[in-house]
Amino acid sequence: MAATATAQVSDTRPAFPPPPVGARPVDRGAWIAAFRHVRDETERRAAPLSPEDQQIQSMPDASPTKWHRAHTTWFFEQFLLKERVPGYRVFDERFFYLFNSYYVQAGPRAPRISRGLVTRPTCDEVTAYRAHVDRAVADLIAGAAEAQIPEIVGIVEIGLHHEQQHQELMLTDILHAFAQNPLLPAYDPAWRWPVLSQEPGRIALDGGVTRMGHEGEGFHFDNEEPRHDVLLRPASLARGLVTNGEWLEFMQDGGYAKPELWLSDGFVAAQAEGWEAPGYWRQQDGVWSSMTLAGLRPVDPALPVTHVSYYEADAFARWAGRDLPTEAEWEAASGSLDAAFGHVWQWTRSAYSAYPGYRPLPGALGEYNGKFMVSQFVLRGSSVATPAGHSRPTYRNFFYPHQRWQFTGLRLSQYGE
C-alpha cells in the first residue's frame, strides 16, 4: 500500500504487524520493534510541520497534530502503564484530562472543539511525554512476567492500530488546515499520487449466501466480527475507481444542481455549503486545481476522485445509472478488485451497524467502535494516507454522510445486467 513520500524509509525497518498475539512463545523483541516502528512513523509524519502547524485546529472534526501525538501517547499511559506497572510515574496528571478523546469511562476530557486552544504543553513537552511513555512500554514488554505478556501485547496491539488511525488523521487534518491558508502551503512538495493502473471491466458476483467478517489469526477491531452469513443479489462491481475525469462530466452536466439526483438531506447540505465540486477543488480561468499534500496542483482526470461525501457519491451513482456497492458486495469482490487498497476509501451504501452477535470489548476500550454505530456509513479499502500494515478486506471505516475531508472516493456497482 502506498504511503506518503515523507513516510517512505528504507526496507530495513521492522515489519508491522508483529507476530499474532496468540503466538507462543511471545517474541518480546518483535513486539518492542513493532512498537517503536509505529511510534517512529508518527514522528516522521509530524517532522515536516512547524510548532505553529502542529497547533492549528481548522474545524471541529479535525485535531491538531500536537494533540494526535499526545493522545496516542495517552492511550498507552491510560490503558497499559497506569493500570499494569506498579509504581509507574505518571508524566503529568493533567494530561489525562487534556488528551482523552471520547472514553467516558476513562474520566473527564477537554472539549473536542477546543483542542486548538491548548497551546500548552508545547510541542517539545509532547515530545518528552512520548519519550517517557515509550521507555516505560518497552521496559514493560521486556520485563513483565510471562503470564502477563499475552494481555500486555494485546493492549499494545490495539494501541498501535489506534495510533495508525491517527497517523492517517494527521495528514488529512493538516491538509484541511493548509487548504484554508491563503498561502496554500505544501505538507511535502515531493508528494505524488501513487501510480494507479485501472483495468476496464467488472467483477461479477453470482449472488447467494456468502460469509463476511473477520476470522482466523491477525489483528482486527471488534466491529469486524463475528463472521456471519449474508445473502447477495447477483451484481457486478467496477474494477476501477471513479475518476476525476468522470466527475468533471457529472459537474458539466449540472449534477450539483439537479435535486432529482440527491437525497433530500444531501441536497440541503450541498446548497448550504455551496458545493460545486469535490473538496479542495478550486477553479481559476476555467481550469480546475485541487489542494493536495504537495500543495495546489491541476486536477488530473485520470486519478481517482477524492474528498467527496457520501451524499455526493450517492448522487453521482444515480447520475451514472448505477449504485454504490454494499459492504458485503465490496468484501466479496475485494480479492479481485484493482485499486482496492491504497488510493481512496470507498463509500458503500451500508449503514454502519453491528454484525449479528456483535459484543464490544469490556471496559473503556469497548467505547472504541460500538457506541458510534448510528447515522454513519461504511467505507472500505484504504487511502494514500493510510500507513503500511493497516488495511485488510474486512476493515470497516465509517463517517457521517456529509464529511469529505478524508481521502474518500467510490466505485460503482450494478444489478441485473
Q: Which sign does the torsion angle of CA 27, 32, 36, 38 carry?
A: positive
What are residue 384's phi and psi, to 5 degrees? -65, -20
Q: How confident is the model at residue 17, as a pLDDT?
A: 74
pLDDT score recorded for residue 366: 86
**Is 356's pLDDT higher than 80?**
yes
Q: What is the pLDDT at residue 258?
A: 98
Is residue 11 scored above 90 in pLDDT?
A: no
Closest Cα to residue 277, out of 316, 236, 335, 226? 316
For the beta sheet containing 397-399, the strands, ordered from the edge strand earlier in sequence to the opposite edge, are: 397-399, 377-381, 345-351, 408-409
Strand partners, 231: 209
- What percentage of the chain reaches a pLDDT higher than 70? 96
Residue 198 has pLDDT above 50, yes or no: yes
8 Å CB contact between 70 and 100: no
Banded model confidence at residue 2, pLDDT cuts 50, 70, 90? very low
The answer to whether residue 6 scores a pLDDT higher than 70 is no
Residue whose C-alpha cell reads 461504511 in the numeric block: 378
Is pLDDT above 50 for 1? no
Query: Residue 3 pLDDT more than 80?
Result: no
Q: Are 326 and 230 in contact (CB under 8 A)?
A: no
Query: Residue 24 pLDDT > 80, yes or no?
Result: no
Q: What is the pLDDT of residue 5?
A: 32
Mean pLDDT of 307-321: 98
Hey, what's the cell of 260?
A: 432529482
The predicted model gives 139-147 an average pLDDT of 96
Q: Please give the pLDDT value at position 196.
A: 84
Average pLDDT along the chain = 93
Residues 6+ apart with CB under 8 A from 310: 266, 347, 377, 399, 400, 401, 402, 403
**How crowded is residue 99: how many other Cβ atoms within 10 Å of its Cβ?**
27
78-103 pLDDT per residue, tens: 999 999 999 999 999 999 999 999 99
Q: Is the pLDDT of residue 199 over 90?
A: no
- pLDDT of residue 10 exceeding 80, the answer is no
Residue 31, CA distances (Å) to 165, 176, 327, 339 in order: 19, 34, 32, 31
State the average pLDDT over residues 100-124: 96
pLDDT one-digit tens code per residue, 267-302:
999 999 999 999 999 999 999 999 999 999 999 999
Q: Which three cell numbers stand for residue 321?
A: 445509472
Report pLDDT for 147. 94
Contact 75, 159 (CB under 8 A): yes
- Residue-wise pLDDT tens digits, 216-261: 888 999 999 999 999 999 999 999 999 999 999 999 999 999 999 9
Task: Count Cβ atoms below 10 Å from residue 302 Cβ, excluding itself.
Answer: 10
Read off the pLDDT band of 417 (50, 70, 90).
low
Place of cell 501525538: 69
C-alpha cell at 82: 497506569
**Band of pLDDT at residue 15, cut at 50, 70 and 90:** low
The answer to whether residue 415 scores a pLDDT higher than 70 is yes
Lowest mean pLDDT among 4-18, 33-47, 190-204: 4-18
pTM score of the predicted model: 0.94
Other residues' Cβ atoms within 10 Å of the Cβ of residue 283: 12
**Taking the alpha carbons of 169, 167, 26, 88 in that order, is the dihedral positive or negative?**
negative
Choice among 8-12, 49-53, 162-166, 190-194 with the minimum mean pLDDT: 8-12
The residue-averaged pLDDT of 327-347 equals: 94
Give CA–CA dist 54/171, Å, rounded. 11
pLDDT confidence bin for 338, thresholds 50/70/90: confident
Q: What is the pLDDT of residue 8?
A: 31
pLDDT tens digits, 372-383: 999 999 999 999
